[in-house]
């Protein structure tokens, strides 16, 4: 009976991680939409919602510590709890990256974007797909999905390199691009970091399942 209770507690924690993941997905979607539409009001809401993520992180972390202290988890369960604690950090940092994106949008304001955003938007789309895939892999303990999601980080890195080259190659040719181009570079950087954090979740998921911690890319 005690063991069944503990197994349920572990399941509850995993569901709480999914709940936090849903908040992170939402705030990132809001941030991405805010820069696609240059919606300054939406960017402000992103910043306001970040506190919800931080609070939930603390609650789940407290529950994990209580499980370790009171239940003396076995190897697989201990790996699950340890992985959850790492994943919480990655999710929280994704939320911070969403806030950073929103802050860039507020800095740009309503001034016209001087460069096409197609590659940055593609980065955003892939990063959002990676978040969903990584969380699905975690809750379903799906190694194949975790590996598939993590490998998409290469696409994001390649797009980011294209964004960097495009902006740097044109930064002296187009009037006003220096200031805005720098902001767009930061935008790409924050999206690239979101993809990196999704990759971390995938690697921790595989560790949770197999006990082997390795870099996928």
- CATH number of 21's domain: 1.20.58.220
Residue with token string 């998921």:
205
Q: Is residue 216 part of a domain?
A: no
Q: Is residue 113 part of a domain?
A: yes
Question: Are 153 and 130 contacting, i.e. CB atoms less than 8 angstroms apart?
Answer: yes
Residue-number span of the structural domain to which 50 is assigned: 2-210
pLDDT of 54-72, one tens digit each?
999 999 999 999 888 877 7
Q: What is the pLDDT of residue 3?
A: 65
Which percentage of the chain shows pLDDT scores above 70?
95
- Whole-number Å distance between alpha carbons of 154 and 80: 27
pTM: 0.92
Q: Is residue 79 part of a domain?
A: yes
Q: What is the pLDDT of residue 69?
A: 85
Average pLDDT, the chain: 90
How far is C-alpha 77 from the chain's CA centre?
Answer: 24
pLDDT of 79-113, one tens digit each?
999 999 999 999 999 999 999 999 999 999 888 88
Distances (CA, A) of 79 to 3, 75, 84, 155: 16, 6, 8, 30
Structure tokens of 174?
């187009």
pLDDT of 115-174, one tens digit each?
778 999 999 999 999 999 999 999 999 999 999 999 999 999 999 999 998 888 777 665
Q: Is residue 152 part of a domain?
A: yes
Q: Is residue 117 part of a domain?
A: yes
Q: Is residue 215 part of a domain?
A: no
- Torsion region of 38: left, alpha or beta (phi above 0 gives left; psi -120 to 50 gives alpha): left
DSSP 192-217: HHHHHHHHHHHHHHHHHHHS------
- Whole-number Å distance between alpha carbons of 190 and 109: 18
Q: What is the pLDDT of residue 180?
A: 82
Work out the pLDDT band at 74, boundaries 50, 70, 90: confident
Q: Is residue 125 part of a domain?
A: yes
User: Strand, helix or coil at 176?
Assistant: coil
How far is C-alpha 192 from the chain's CA centre?
Answer: 9
Q: Is residue 217 part of a domain?
A: no
Average pLDDT (177-188) is: 86
Q: How many CB atoms lie within 10 A of CB 118?
A: 11
Work out the pLDDT band at 1, boundaries 50, 70, 90: very low
Per the structure, the count of domains in the chain is: 1
């Amino acid at each position: 009976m005690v063991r069944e209770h503990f197994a349920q507690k572990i399941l509850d924690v995993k569901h709480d991680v999914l709940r936090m993941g849903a908040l992170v997905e939402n705030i990132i979607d809001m941030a991405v939409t805010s820069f696609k539409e240059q919606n300054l009001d939406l960017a402000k809401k992103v910043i306001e919602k970040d506190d919800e993520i931080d609070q939930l992180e603390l609650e789940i972390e407290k529950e994990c510590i209580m499980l370790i202290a009171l239940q003396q988890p076995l190897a697989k369960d201990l790996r699950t709890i340890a992985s959850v604690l790492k994943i919480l950090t990655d999710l929280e940092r994704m939320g911070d990256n969403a806030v950073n994106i929103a802050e860039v949008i507020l800095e740009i304001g309503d001034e016209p974007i001087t460069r096409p955003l197609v590659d940055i938007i593609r980065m955003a789309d892939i990063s959002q797909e990676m978040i969903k895939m990584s969380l699905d892999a975690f809750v379903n303990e799906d190694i194949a999905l975790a590996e598939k999601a993590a490998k998409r980080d290469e696409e994001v890195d390649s797009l980011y390199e294209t964004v960097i080259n495009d902006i740097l190659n044109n930064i002296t040719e187009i009037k006003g691009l220096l200031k805005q181009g720098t902001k767009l570079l930061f935008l790409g950087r924050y999206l690239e970091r979101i993809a990196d954090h999704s990759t971390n979740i995938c690697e921790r998921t595989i560790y949770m399942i197999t006990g082997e911690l390795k870099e996928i890319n």
